Protein backbone atom coordinates (compact mmCIF):
# COMPACT_ATOMS: atom_id res chain seq x y z
CA UNK A 1 0.00 0.00 0.00
CA UNK A 2 1.42 3.37 -1.09
CA UNK A 3 1.12 6.45 1.09
CA UNK A 4 1.25 10.01 -0.25
CA UNK A 5 3.09 12.08 2.38
CA UNK A 6 3.71 15.79 1.80
CA UNK A 7 5.39 18.41 3.97
CA UNK A 8 3.32 21.50 4.84
CA UNK A 9 4.32 24.71 3.14
CA UNK A 10 2.99 28.18 2.79
CA UNK A 11 0.87 28.59 -0.31
CA UNK A 12 1.79 31.34 -2.67
CA UNK A 13 -0.65 34.20 -2.94
CA UNK A 14 -2.16 34.50 -6.37
CA UNK A 15 -1.62 37.95 -7.77
CA UNK A 16 -4.66 39.94 -8.73
CA UNK A 17 -5.44 39.87 -12.43
CA UNK A 18 -4.38 42.88 -14.44
CA UNK A 19 -7.01 44.75 -16.43
CA UNK A 20 -9.96 43.57 -14.36
CA UNK A 21 -11.75 46.00 -12.06
CA UNK A 22 -11.65 44.72 -8.50
CA UNK A 23 -15.05 43.93 -7.00
CA UNK A 24 -16.32 46.02 -4.13
CA UNK A 25 -16.39 43.45 -1.31
CA UNK A 26 -17.88 44.52 2.00
CA UNK A 27 -18.42 43.05 5.45
CA UNK A 28 -21.32 43.68 7.84
CA UNK A 29 -21.06 47.25 9.14
CA UNK A 30 -18.96 48.61 6.28
CA UNK A 31 -20.06 51.95 4.83
CA UNK A 32 -20.92 51.55 1.15
CA UNK A 33 -21.62 55.20 0.36
CA UNK A 34 -22.59 58.46 2.04
CA UNK A 35 -24.36 59.78 -1.05
CA UNK A 36 -28.06 60.25 -0.28
CA UNK A 37 -28.99 59.91 -3.96
CA UNK A 38 -28.83 56.10 -3.89
CA UNK A 39 -31.69 53.72 -3.02
CA UNK A 40 -31.35 50.96 -0.41
CA UNK A 41 -31.50 47.39 -1.72
CA UNK A 42 -31.19 43.92 -0.23
CA UNK A 43 -28.31 43.43 2.20
CA UNK A 44 -28.09 47.09 3.20
CA UNK A 45 -29.55 49.49 5.76
CA UNK A 46 -29.47 53.25 6.33
CA UNK A 47 -27.89 54.85 9.39
CA UNK A 48 -28.20 58.61 9.15
CA UNK A 49 -26.82 59.62 5.78
CA UNK A 50 -24.77 56.44 5.37
CA UNK A 51 -25.69 53.31 3.44
CA UNK A 52 -24.21 50.36 5.38
CA UNK A 53 -23.87 46.68 4.46
CA UNK A 54 -25.74 44.17 6.63
CA UNK A 55 -24.16 41.04 5.08
CA UNK A 56 -20.78 40.05 3.68
CA UNK A 57 -20.75 40.03 -0.08
CA UNK A 58 -20.24 41.95 -3.32
CA UNK A 59 -21.80 45.37 -3.89
CA UNK A 60 -23.99 45.54 -6.99
CA UNK A 61 -25.31 48.76 -8.47
CA UNK A 62 -28.27 49.01 -10.84
CA UNK A 63 -28.79 52.66 -11.72
CA UNK A 64 -29.51 54.26 -8.32
CA UNK A 65 -30.22 50.98 -6.52
CA UNK A 66 -27.45 49.48 -4.38
CA UNK A 67 -27.63 45.97 -2.96
CA UNK A 68 -25.15 43.45 -1.56
CA UNK A 69 -25.08 39.95 -3.01
CA UNK A 70 -23.96 37.64 -0.19
CA UNK A 71 -21.27 35.03 -0.80
CA UNK A 72 -23.11 32.17 0.88
CA UNK A 73 -26.86 32.19 1.25
CA UNK A 74 -29.92 30.10 0.65
CA UNK A 75 -31.31 29.95 -2.87
CA UNK A 76 -33.74 32.73 -3.76
CA UNK A 77 -35.70 31.43 -6.71
CA UNK A 78 -36.91 33.32 -9.74
CA UNK A 79 -39.47 32.29 -12.34
CA UNK A 80 -37.80 30.33 -15.14
CA UNK A 81 -34.86 29.07 -13.08
CA UNK A 82 -33.65 25.51 -13.66
CA UNK A 83 -33.28 23.64 -10.37
CA UNK A 84 -32.21 20.18 -9.23
CA UNK A 85 -33.99 18.92 -6.13
CA UNK A 86 -34.72 15.89 -4.01
CA UNK A 87 -38.21 14.63 -3.14
CA UNK A 88 -38.71 14.81 0.62
CA UNK A 89 -42.43 14.12 1.03
CA UNK A 90 -45.36 12.80 -0.97
CA UNK A 91 -48.54 14.64 -0.02
CA UNK A 92 -52.04 15.12 -1.38
CA UNK A 93 -51.74 15.96 -5.07
CA UNK A 94 -48.25 17.38 -4.52
CA UNK A 95 -44.65 16.52 -3.76
CA UNK A 96 -42.35 18.50 -1.49
CA UNK A 97 -38.91 19.08 -2.99
CA UNK A 98 -35.72 20.17 -1.21
CA UNK A 99 -34.03 22.81 -3.40
CA UNK A 100 -31.72 24.53 -0.87
CA UNK A 101 -34.21 27.38 -0.49
CA UNK A 102 -35.63 28.73 2.76
CA UNK A 103 -38.76 26.57 2.42
CA UNK A 104 -39.42 23.30 0.63
CA UNK A 105 -40.57 23.74 -2.95
CA UNK A 106 -43.85 22.29 -4.22
CA UNK A 107 -44.37 20.11 -7.28
CA UNK A 108 -48.08 19.67 -8.03
CA UNK A 109 -49.45 16.50 -9.58
CA UNK A 110 -50.93 18.63 -12.35
CA UNK A 111 -47.44 20.01 -13.13
CA UNK A 112 -45.80 16.72 -14.14
CA UNK A 113 -45.91 14.57 -17.25
CA UNK A 114 -47.51 11.18 -16.64
CA UNK A 115 -45.91 8.07 -18.18
CA UNK A 116 -46.91 7.77 -21.81
CA UNK A 117 -47.11 11.50 -22.34
CA UNK A 118 -50.80 11.63 -21.48
CA UNK A 119 -52.32 15.11 -21.33
CA UNK A 120 -55.53 14.78 -19.32
CA UNK A 121 -57.08 15.75 -16.03
CA UNK A 122 -55.55 14.03 -13.02
CA UNK A 123 -57.84 11.45 -11.45
CA UNK A 124 -58.02 9.80 -8.04
CA UNK A 125 -56.17 6.82 -9.49
CA UNK A 126 -53.28 9.08 -10.47
CA UNK A 127 -53.18 10.44 -6.93
CA UNK A 128 -52.86 6.92 -5.56
CA UNK A 129 -49.98 6.25 -7.96
CA UNK A 130 -47.98 9.34 -6.98
CA UNK A 131 -45.33 7.41 -5.07
CA UNK A 132 -44.93 5.17 -8.13
CA UNK A 133 -44.07 8.24 -10.24
CA UNK A 134 -41.79 9.97 -7.71
CA UNK A 135 -40.89 8.63 -4.27
CA UNK A 136 -38.97 10.06 -1.34
CA UNK A 137 -35.29 10.40 -2.11
CA UNK A 138 -35.68 10.69 -5.89
CA UNK A 139 -33.71 13.43 -7.62
CA UNK A 140 -35.46 15.54 -10.25
CA UNK A 141 -34.73 18.43 -12.55
CA UNK A 142 -37.47 21.04 -12.82
CA UNK A 143 -38.22 24.65 -13.63
CA UNK A 144 -39.56 27.32 -11.29
CA UNK A 145 -43.12 28.07 -12.40
CA UNK A 146 -44.18 30.63 -9.81
CA UNK A 147 -43.49 31.93 -6.32
CA UNK A 148 -45.94 31.65 -3.42
CA UNK A 149 -46.59 34.50 -1.01
CA UNK A 150 -44.55 32.80 1.75
CA UNK A 151 -41.48 32.58 -0.49
CA UNK A 152 -41.72 28.90 -1.42
CA UNK A 153 -41.38 27.84 -5.05
CA UNK A 154 -43.84 26.11 -7.35
CA UNK A 155 -42.08 23.78 -9.79
CA UNK A 156 -43.10 22.01 -12.97
CA UNK A 157 -41.61 19.25 -15.14
CA UNK A 158 -43.89 19.63 -18.17
CA UNK A 159 -41.02 19.28 -20.62
CA UNK A 160 -39.06 16.35 -22.02
CA UNK A 161 -35.79 17.71 -20.62
CA UNK A 162 -37.09 17.76 -17.03
CA UNK A 163 -38.04 14.86 -14.79
CA UNK A 164 -36.49 12.11 -12.73
CA UNK A 165 -32.69 11.83 -12.72
CA UNK A 166 -30.87 8.51 -12.92
CA UNK A 167 -27.28 7.20 -13.10
CA UNK A 168 -25.16 10.16 -12.11
CA UNK A 169 -23.63 12.12 -9.27
CA UNK A 170 -24.74 15.24 -7.41
CA UNK A 171 -22.38 18.06 -6.37
CA UNK A 172 -23.50 20.99 -4.22
CA UNK A 173 -21.97 24.45 -4.67
CA UNK A 174 -22.98 27.95 -3.50
CA UNK A 175 -25.87 29.19 -5.68
CA UNK A 176 -24.12 32.53 -6.18
CA UNK A 177 -21.39 30.79 -8.23
CA UNK A 178 -23.82 29.43 -10.85
CA UNK A 179 -24.00 31.84 -13.77
CA UNK A 180 -27.43 32.44 -15.28
CA UNK A 181 -27.17 31.27 -18.88
CA UNK A 182 -29.45 30.62 -21.82
CA UNK A 183 -29.32 26.90 -21.13
CA UNK A 184 -28.30 25.02 -18.01
CA UNK A 185 -28.21 21.59 -19.70
CA UNK A 186 -24.61 21.29 -20.87
CA UNK A 187 -23.43 18.48 -23.17
CA UNK A 188 -19.65 18.06 -23.20
CA UNK A 189 -17.62 16.38 -25.96
CA UNK A 190 -16.12 14.04 -23.35
CA UNK A 191 -19.46 12.20 -23.22
CA UNK A 192 -21.14 13.70 -20.16
CA UNK A 193 -24.10 15.96 -19.43
CA UNK A 194 -24.03 18.57 -16.68
CA UNK A 195 -27.17 20.20 -15.30
CA UNK A 196 -26.23 23.45 -13.58
CA UNK A 197 -29.09 24.10 -11.19
CA UNK A 198 -29.57 27.73 -10.25
CA UNK A 199 -30.04 26.51 -6.67
CA UNK A 200 -26.43 25.28 -6.51
CA UNK A 201 -27.12 21.59 -7.15
CA UNK A 202 -25.04 20.30 -10.07
CA UNK A 203 -26.00 16.97 -11.64
CA UNK A 204 -23.42 15.07 -13.75
CA UNK A 205 -24.45 12.01 -15.78
CA UNK A 206 -23.48 10.16 -18.97
CA UNK A 207 -24.52 11.76 -22.23
CA UNK A 208 -27.77 10.19 -23.39
CA UNK A 209 -28.25 9.16 -26.99
CA UNK A 210 -30.81 11.10 -28.94
CA UNK A 211 -34.22 9.51 -28.96
CA UNK A 212 -35.70 8.63 -32.35
CA UNK A 213 -38.32 11.08 -33.57
CA UNK A 214 -41.88 9.81 -33.39
CA UNK A 215 -44.12 9.61 -36.42
CA UNK A 216 -47.63 10.97 -36.57
CA UNK A 217 -49.21 7.64 -35.68
CA UNK A 218 -46.97 7.17 -32.63
CA UNK A 219 -48.64 8.94 -29.76
CA UNK A 220 -46.81 7.30 -26.86
CA UNK A 221 -43.28 8.13 -25.86
CA UNK A 222 -40.83 6.53 -23.48
CA UNK A 223 -40.39 8.55 -20.31
CA UNK A 224 -37.47 8.54 -17.93
CA UNK A 225 -39.36 6.26 -15.53
CA UNK A 226 -39.87 3.62 -18.23
CA UNK A 227 -36.30 3.50 -19.53
CA UNK A 228 -34.20 0.54 -18.40
CA UNK A 229 -31.21 1.43 -16.19
CA UNK A 230 -28.03 2.16 -18.13
CA UNK A 231 -24.89 0.09 -17.80
CA UNK A 232 -22.32 2.81 -17.18
CA UNK A 233 -18.87 1.97 -18.48
CA UNK A 234 -15.67 2.53 -16.49
CA UNK A 235 -14.58 5.35 -18.82
CA UNK A 236 -17.90 7.13 -18.25
CA UNK A 237 -17.47 6.80 -14.49
CA UNK A 238 -14.01 8.34 -14.69
CA UNK A 239 -15.34 11.20 -16.83
CA UNK A 240 -18.14 11.89 -14.33
CA UNK A 241 -15.70 11.78 -11.42
CA UNK A 242 -13.28 14.10 -13.23
CA UNK A 243 -16.02 16.63 -14.01
CA UNK A 244 -17.25 16.40 -10.42
CA UNK A 245 -13.77 17.18 -9.08
CA UNK A 246 -13.52 20.09 -11.54
CA UNK A 247 -16.81 21.52 -10.23
CA UNK A 248 -15.55 21.23 -6.64
CA UNK A 249 -12.24 22.85 -7.59
CA UNK A 250 -13.86 25.86 -9.25
CA UNK A 251 -16.36 26.29 -6.41
CA UNK A 252 -13.67 26.14 -3.72
CA UNK A 253 -11.68 28.85 -5.50
CA UNK A 254 -14.64 31.14 -6.21
CA UNK A 255 -14.74 30.70 -9.99
CA UNK A 256 -18.13 31.15 -11.64
CA UNK A 257 -19.60 27.95 -13.08
CA UNK A 258 -20.72 27.91 -16.70
CA UNK A 259 -19.93 25.86 -19.78
CA UNK A 260 -16.70 27.69 -20.68
CA UNK A 261 -15.13 27.56 -17.22
CA UNK A 262 -16.05 23.88 -16.82
CA UNK A 263 -14.56 23.02 -20.22
CA UNK A 264 -11.34 24.87 -19.40
CA UNK A 265 -11.11 23.10 -16.04
CA UNK A 266 -11.69 19.72 -17.66
CA UNK A 267 -9.01 20.36 -20.29
CA UNK A 268 -6.52 21.45 -17.62
CA UNK A 269 -7.26 18.37 -15.50
CA UNK A 270 -6.41 15.86 -18.24
CA UNK A 271 -2.70 15.97 -17.35
CA UNK A 272 -3.55 14.59 -13.89
CA UNK A 273 -5.35 11.49 -12.72
CA UNK A 274 -8.81 11.71 -11.17
CA UNK A 275 -7.39 11.01 -7.71
CA UNK A 276 -4.73 13.72 -8.03
CA UNK A 277 -7.46 16.33 -8.58
CA UNK A 278 -8.23 16.15 -4.85
CA UNK A 279 -4.81 17.59 -3.92
CA UNK A 280 -4.94 21.27 -2.92
CA UNK A 281 -1.94 22.29 -5.03
CA UNK A 282 -3.41 20.63 -8.14
CA UNK A 283 -6.77 22.34 -7.55
CA UNK A 284 -5.05 25.70 -7.15
CA UNK A 285 -3.13 25.14 -10.38
CA UNK A 286 -6.29 24.27 -12.35
CA UNK A 287 -8.22 27.22 -10.93
CA UNK A 288 -5.45 29.61 -11.92
CA UNK A 289 -5.33 28.18 -15.47
CA UNK A 290 -9.09 28.70 -15.79
CA UNK A 291 -8.81 32.29 -14.52
CA UNK A 292 -6.06 33.13 -17.00
CA UNK A 293 -7.95 31.64 -19.96
CA UNK A 294 -11.11 33.51 -19.00
CA UNK A 295 -9.13 36.75 -18.75
CA UNK A 296 -7.72 36.23 -22.23
CA UNK A 297 -11.25 36.06 -23.63
CA UNK A 298 -12.50 39.07 -21.67
Domain ranges of the chain: 25-70
Question: What is the structure's pLDDT at 72?
Answer: 80
Question: What is the structure's pLDDT at 214?
Answer: 41
**For the chain, which residues score pLDDT lower than 50?**
14-22, 211-224
Q: What is the DSSP string of 46-73?
A: EETTEEEESSSEEEEEETTEEEEEESS-
Q: How many residues does the chain have?
A: 298
As a whole number of angstroms, the distance between CA 286 and CA 249 comes to 8
In sequence order, which residues have a C-beta less than 8 Å from that of residue 15 and are 6 or more positions away? none
Question: What is the structure's pLDDT at 9?
Answer: 64
- Spell out the CATH class of 25-70: mainly beta
Burial of 211 (0-12, 13-18, 19+ CB in 10 A): exposed
pTM of the model: 0.80
pLDDT in tens, 210-255: 544 444 433 343 344 555 556 778 889 999 999 999 999 999 998 9
As a whole number of angstroms, the distance between CA 174 and CA 185 comes to 18
Smallest CA-to-CA distance from 84 within 202, 175, 173, 171 is with 202
Q: Are 255 and 246 in contact, with CB atoms under 8 Å apart?
A: no
Count of alpha carbons within 13 Å of 107, Cβ hemisphere only?
A: 33
Question: What is the structure's pLDDT at 291?
Answer: 94
Question: What is the structure's pLDDT at 123?
Answer: 81
Q: What Cα–Cα distance (Å) separates residue 89 from each residue in 86, 94, 136, 137, 200?
A: 9, 9, 6, 9, 21
Intra-chain end-to-end CA distance of the chain, in Å: 46
- Alpha helices, DSSP H, located in the chain: 124-128, 130-133, 234-252, 259-269, 280-297
Amino acid sequence: MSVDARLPKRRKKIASSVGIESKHIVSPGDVITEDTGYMRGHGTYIDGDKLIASVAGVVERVNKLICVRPFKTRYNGEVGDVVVGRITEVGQKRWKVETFSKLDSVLLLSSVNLPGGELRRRSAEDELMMRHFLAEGDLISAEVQSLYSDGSLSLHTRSLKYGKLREGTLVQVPPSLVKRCKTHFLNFPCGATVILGNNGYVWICPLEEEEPTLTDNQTDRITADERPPQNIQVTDRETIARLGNCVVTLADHGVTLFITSLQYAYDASLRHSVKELLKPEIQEEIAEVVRQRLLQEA
